Amino acid sequence: MNKLSETYFTIGEFASLFKLSKQTLFYYERNNILKPSYIDENGYRYYSLEQYFIFDIIINMRKLGIPLKEIADYIQNRDVNALQLFYKRKQTEYQVQIDIMQRNITNLQTKINRLEKIKNVTTDKITLEEQAEEYYIATPFSVPKISIKEKIKLVAKHNYPFASSELLNEYLMGYILPKDALQQGKFLAISHLYTRISHPDEYTDVQIKKAGLYASIYTPNGFHTQYKYSLKKLLAFIERNALTIIGDVYIEQLRNYWSTADYTKYIVKIMIPVDYL
pTM of the predicted structure, to 2 decimals: 0.78
Examine the domain organization and report whether 132 and 260 are in the same domain: yes
Residue 20 lies in a domain: yes
Residue 84 lies in a domain: no
Examine the domain organization and report whether 166 and 232 are in the same domain: yes
Examine the domain organization and report whether 130 and 26 are in the same domain: no
Examine the domain organization and report whether 74 and 129 are in the same domain: no
Query: Which one of 42, 62, 78 terminates a domain?
Result: 78
Q: Tens digit of pLDDT for each residue in 123-175?
A: 999 999 999 999 999 999 977 678 889 989 999 999 999 999 899 988 999 99
Query: Which one of 78, 111, 139 terminates a domain?
Result: 78
Instruction: Give the single-character DSSP code of 264.
Output: G
Residue 126 lies in a domain: yes
Residue 56 lies in a domain: yes
- Contact residues for 4 (Cβ-Cβ < 8 A; gap 6+): 38, 46
Residue 101 lies in a domain: no
Q: How far lies 235's CA from each of 182, 187, 191, 202, 245, in Å?
A: 9, 11, 19, 36, 9
Residue 264 in this model has a pLDDT that exceeds 90? no
Examine the domain organization and report whether 186 and 272 are in the same domain: yes
Backbone angles phi, psi at 5, to 5 degrees: -65, -25
Examine the domain organization and report whether 135 and 24 are in the same domain: no
pLDDT of res. 201: 87
Whichever domain contains 30, its CATH number is 1.10.1660.10
Region of 19 please: left (phi>0), alpha (psi -120 to 50) or beta: left
Domain count, the chain: 2
Whichever domain contains 224, its CATH number is 3.20.80.10
Domain range for 148: 122-276
Residue 103 lies in a domain: no
Mean pLDDT of 208-213: 97
Determine the length of the chain. Answer: 277
Residue 225 lies in a domain: yes
Taking the C-alpha atoms of residue 231 and residue 190, their distance in angstroms, rounded to an integer, is 13
Examine the domain organization and report whether 162 and 62 are in the same domain: no
Long-range contacts of 144-152 (CB under 8 A, 24+ apart): 144/188, 144/189
Examine the domain organization and report whether 133 and 258 are in the same domain: yes
Examine the domain organization and report whether 57 and 188 are in the same domain: no
> Is 129 within 8 Å of 216 (Cβ atoms)?
yes
Q: Tens digit of pLDDT for each residue in 67-99?
A: 999 999 999 999 999 999 999 999 999 999 999
Examine the domain organization and report whether 73 and 132 are in the same domain: no
Examine the domain organization and report whether 161 and 237 are in the same domain: yes
